[in-house]
Chains A and B, each alone.
Chain A
Amino acid sequence: DTEVTQTPKHLVMGMTNKKSLKCEQHMGHRAMYWYKQKAKKPPELMFVYSYEKLSINESVPSRFSPECPNSSLLNLHLHALQPEDSALYLCASSQDVGFREQYFGPGTRLTVT
């Protein structure tokens, strides 16, 4: 099974709301990733977790706060977002952060009003 699941599929939030995106994998992978994709653009890396520790933060604003509670789960906490943060948020996982195949979830389509 090479499935990565993400919830919710769609999210609409106001600029003062706090919400969370969830990602789960049961492949025994020890690396998990958040990517952001704007319309008509390729995905861009936001964060990498390796063995439940944050290993890469691509200078993401602090209104995005990642969390890796265990090796199967990855959350992205959202607070005080801006309309320009509206995008498709993709989670991925791989065996580890070496040169490994990454598998992506279906994404959460976020709209900030």
Chain B
Amino acid sequence: GIQVEQSPPDLILQEGANSTLRCNFSDSVNNLQWFHQNPWGQLINLFYIPSGTKQNGRLSATTVATERYSLLYISSSQTTDSGVYFCAGNYNQGGKLIFGQGTELSVKP
């Protein structure tokens, strides 16, 4: 079946550091989303990025659809960035999002 792989699985950063999270997918994706899940379980939309590059404040994302990967960049990390980051892709028009296993980020003060 379709595979979505995220790396690294865990990441510990000092406040102020930068990081790059990666999402590889096994087949062409038509809808790629990045989410941040906070400690209370809420999935917060970060980017909808089937291709190209987007920026939102300290976060930016790039998807290279032809090479089947997406990157999430976090700059000047803050403790509030802690949580689990998921990428998810939609491969057909049925609406099913397939999630990667997530990257658990911990930012220390």
Contact = CB atoms under 8 A, between A and B. Distances in A.
Contacts, number: 65
B48 A42 contact: no
B30 interface: yes
A48 B43 CA distance: 18
Contact of A97 (B41, B88, B93): B93
A55 B41 contact: no
A42 B100 contact: yes
Q: How large is the interface on A (under 10, 10 to 19, 20 to 34, 35 or more residues)?
A: 20 to 34
Interface stretch (A15-23, A67-75, A78-86, A99-107): A99-107
Contacts of A37: 41
Given A99-B30, A99-B50, A107 B94 contact: no
Nearest to A45: B96
Interface string B68-109: 000000000000000000101010011111011110000000
A17 B104 CA distance: 35
B94 A56 contact: yes
Contact of B43 (A31, A43, A58, A101): A43
B101 A50 contact: no
- The 6 A-B pairs of least Cβ separation, nearest first, read A42-B99, A97-B95, A104-B43, A101-B48, A99-B31, A99-B30
Interface of A: 2, 31, 33, 35, 37, 41-45, 48, 50, 55-56, 58, 88, 90, 92, 94, 97-104, 106-107, 109
Given A42-B86, A42-B102, A107-B43, 16 more contacts: A31-B95, A33-B95, A35-B97, A37-B41, A43-B97, A45-B97, A48-B95, A55-B94, A90-B41, A98-B95, A99-B30, A101-B31, A103-B45, A104-B35, A104-B42, A106-B41
